[in-house]
Structure 1
Amino acid sequence: MDFGICVASRPADLDYVVEAEQLGFTHAWMADSQMIWSDVYAMLALVADRTTTMHVGTGVAVAGTRLAPVTAAAMATINELAPGRAFCGIGTGNTAMRIMGHKPLRIAEFDRYLADLRPLLRGEEIDYEWRGHRAPIRHLMPDDGFVRFDPPVPIHVSAFGPRALDLAAKHGDGLITSAPPDPNAIRGLRAAVTERRQEHGRSTERADFPISTLTTVCVLQPGEAIDSDRVKREVGAFAIAALHYTYEQYVQLGREPGRHLHGMWDDYVAAVESVPVERRHLRTHLGHNCWVIPDEERFVTKELIERSCLVGEPAALRERVTELGEAGLDQIVVLPPLEAKERVIRDVSRELIALG
């Protein structure tokens, strides 16, 4: 099992990424959300320069905010800075678009975007349509130190629902998702991906299509409760972000929340919807994966933690990680809150990475 970190892009946290590399983390997924964090490609350039072995990439880039040629040039530049270590995580913008009051890219639009991005990231020529005009495009100076297309930059497509999962199988070199850290969920994902890869005439070998899942981890002390104050401080931000996403799915698609949310759901919806609808997008994702705002601390429940996070004593965590790997998971991407991030990755390194 590989372990990566997802980083809320911020220049002050470069040393944190360097420490993660030293602790054995294999990937740094730098988050892209233009209205809450620093620019992801500026951060990636700095990270590429400060690391030597770690794979560095977007976690994930937002297709709706940049043209495919722009994303391709940006990632090929990172590949020049860190040859063979760059990867491109790409998604529709579940958070980045919504915090501007817009919906993520539609599936048909994302399909076209990925169809353009894949060959562009390999330095190939495509017929590209923009503003109603179609013309052939390619990078004109690929061999002059501006960009690097060899080795190719792998694309990890962000997907949650079945239609996006199909696009990951069709266009991607891997899947980045945020599935419940449960072997049955991972087993179902791996089976679905294999079936869709076969339908698209692509390799069904596991090694050719890694699955990574975003979560966070807390190593319990002997006898510690899963909802202790310390645990809530270390996993609360991620757990609440999962609640934010569930609310967006409820509003946009009418999807009912899972049973683990039933005891709090009406109270949570009332809190969010106390804000006028025209400004609600400025409220929903406050603190996103960085901290829990005071008004939402009461929603960090045992049930929410168990559903979204990996929490347990060391031996139990190691057993669960083994089960996830056997079910088809290749990488656990850890996203701790800002205040506890160093402590979390040190615990993960000591109890999970160092012991294999």
Structure 2
Amino acid sequence: MKISLGVYPNQKPSEVIASAKLAEELGFDTLWMLDSHLLFREVYTMFGAIGAATSRIRLGTAVTNPLTRHPTVTASAFATLAELTEGRATLGISVGDSALKAMNLEIAKMKELADTVRRCRALLDGEEVAFGEGELAKLHHTGRHVPIYVAATGPKMLALTGEIGDGCILMNGVAPDLIQAAIDLLQAGEREAKRPVGTTKTVVWAACHPDPEAVKYNVARAILRNIPGPISDLTRQVAAEVKKEYNYEEHGSAEAHFASLVPTELVERFAFSHSPEHIASQIDALEKIGVDEVVLAIPFAPNITPRDEVMRQLAPMIFRKRV
């Protein structure tokens, strides 16, 4: 199973690039970065710089959307990134979250997402695509394969991802029973589309930090989603409270005020936390159910242990069987 790093680019670009270089050195497989252009540094610009500063680590969006980026822009950006990095680019996309909510806009429809994935894949494969009547559009700098991963949580999105995705980014927590429930729905979508079961790679994204208080911001967002599987009454009660207070200006911030509404007892099911040994055991539990990749989304904030130090603490444990 691959172990990757998730980054909220809320630091200076030079600091994010330094973290990317360290992640590569320590053995992380992919650097997944948010595309939320008002809240964080612009991801395509960051990936160009990181791609030039690294040689092995893959780069993927977690995630872009069909509305703030036109399909031709997305396809061109990833074709360029793949060329720059000799094939280290992965396109992560979904219906949108903070990038749109920060502008008070509605997320994309599932049909728009499916159409965007289809068009991006065709453009990246060098095919002509229709956007208006008559004329066809074609990307003139293709060549490297770019897999397309779709972020999905609820039953309908999981089924769609099983039909169209090369991979599925799950933001459904970290408890094996929750992830297994999502995988079952994903594979049902594969069967419906007559794709071989297991075609769609599974990626579990969740906040990661030794301090449980530092991941509660992400737990708060996770429990607002339509997560399949066993959800406790306490989780539902807390989600109702969080929904009243959630502010997208603080999305992805370990210092978000609404994080204080999350009791520590919920952290275990929705985030990677506590000692490096415990985090390693959480990762191992997901490997046992066939998860292909985990993404440790390590936040950065002035009052918590810095991301780079956390990576150094975790590396000896989480890569112990992979050295």
**What's the TM-score once normalised by structure 2's chain length?**
0.87
Q: Any idea what SS the aligned residue of 1:62 has?
A: coil
For each residue in 1:149-197, what CA deviation from the matched residue of structure 2 results, as whole angstroms up to 9, or x when unmatched? 33x1000011111222222122211001212212222222333222321
Aligned to 1:19: 22
Within 2, Cα distance between the matches of 1:115 and 1:212?
21
Q: CA deviation at 1:31?
A: 1.0
Residue of structure 2 aligned with 1:149, choices 143, 168, 173: 143
Residue of structure 2 aligned with 1:200, choices 193, 202, 205: 193
Within 1, Cα distance between the matches of 2:72 and 2:242?
41
Q: Any idea what SS the aligned residue of 1:87 has?
A: strand
Contact 1:55–1:85 (CA under 8 A) maintained in structure 2: yes
Within 1, Cα distance between the matches of 2:289 and 2:236?
29
Within 2, Cα distance between the matches of 1:164 and 1:176?
11
Aligned to 2:39: 36
Residue of structure 1 aligned with 2:110, choices 100, 104, 107: 107
Q: CA deviation at 1:315?
A: 4.4
Q: CA deviation at 1:258?
A: 5.3
Percent identity over paired residues: 25
More divergent stretch after superposition (343-352 vs 66-75): 343-352
Aligned to 1:353: 319
Q: Does 1:209 align with 2:212?
A: no
Contact 1:93–1:104 (CA under 8 A) maintained in structure 2: yes
Q: Any idea what SS the aligned residue of 1:181 has?
A: coil
**What's the TM-score once normalised by structure 1's chain length?**
0.80
Q: Any idea what SS the aligned residue of 1:157 has?
A: strand
Within 2, Cα distance between the matches of 1:317 and 1:6?
15
- When residues 265 and 239 of structure 1 are mapped into structure 2, their CA distance, relative to the original with a 3 A threshold, is closer
Aligned to 1:225: none
Task: Please tell me the root mean square deviation across aligned C-alpha atoms, in Å.
Answer: 2.4
Aligned to 1:47: 50
Q: CA deviation at 1:267?
A: 5.0
Q: Does 1:288 align with 2:290?
A: no
Within 1, Cα distance between the matches of 2:51 and 2:71?
22
Aligned to 2:100: 97
Give the counterpart letter for 1:284 in structure 2.
N
Q: What 5-or-longer segments of structure 2 have no aligned partner?
A: none
- When residues 260 and 88 of structure 1 are mapped into structure 2, their CA distance, relative to the original with a 3 A threshold, is same
Within 1, Cα distance between the matches of 2:206 and 2:71?
28
Aligned to 1:320: 282
- When residues 298 and 318 of structure 1 are mapped into structure 2, their CA distance, relative to the original with a 3 A threshold, is closer
Aligned to 2:217: 237
Q: CA deviation at 1:299?
A: 1.4
Within 1, Cα distance between the matches of 2:232 and 2:102?
24
- When residues 268 and 89 of structure 1 are mapped into structure 2, their CA distance, relative to the original with a 3 A threshold, is closer
Give the counterpart letter for 2:221 in structure 1.
A
1:246-265 paired onto structure 2 within 5 Å: 246=225, 259-261=233-235, 264=238
Within 2, Cα distance between the matches of 1:268 and 1:59?
23
Aligned to 2:135: 135
Within 2, Cα distance between the matches of 1:301 and 1:186?
21
Q: CA deviation at 1:68?
A: 0.9
Contact 2:95–2:113 (CA under 8 A) maintained in structure 1: yes
Give the counterpart letter for 1:260 in structure 2.
L
Within 1, Cα distance between the matches of 2:158 and 2:57?
26
Within 2, Cα distance between the matches of 1:214 and 1:349?
17
Within 1, Cα distance between the matches of 2:239 and 2:147?
39
Aligned to 2:70: 67
For each residue in 1:52-71, what CA deviation from the matched residue of structure 2 results, as whole angstroms up to 9, or x when unmatched? 11111211112111111111
Aligned residue-pair number: 312
- When residues 100 and 3 of structure 1 are mapped into structure 2, their CA distance, relative to the original with a 3 A threshold, is same
More divergent stretch after superposition (179-188 vs 29-38): 179-188
Aligned to 2:160: 167
Contact 1:7–1:28 (CA under 8 A) maintained in structure 2: yes
Contact 1:186–1:328 (CA under 8 A) maintained in structure 2: no
Aligned to 1:310: 272
Within 1, Cα distance between the matches of 2:222 and 2:189?
26
Residue of structure 2 aligned with 1:336, choices 298, 305, 315: 298
Within 2, Cα distance between the matches of 1:266 and 1:83?
46
Q: What 5-or-longer segments of structure 1 have no aligned partner?
A: 143-147, 220-229, 250-256, 273-282
Q: Any idea what SS the aligned residue of 1:28 has?
A: strand
Give the counterpart letter for 2:51 in structure 1.
A
- When residues 138 and 355 of structure 1 are mapped into structure 2, their CA distance, relative to the original with a 3 A threshold, is same
Give the counterpart letter for 1:289 in structure 2.
G
For each residue in 1:115-146, what CA deviation from the matched residue of structure 2 results, as whole angstroms up to 9, or x when unmatched? 211111211122x234xx3532212x33xxxx
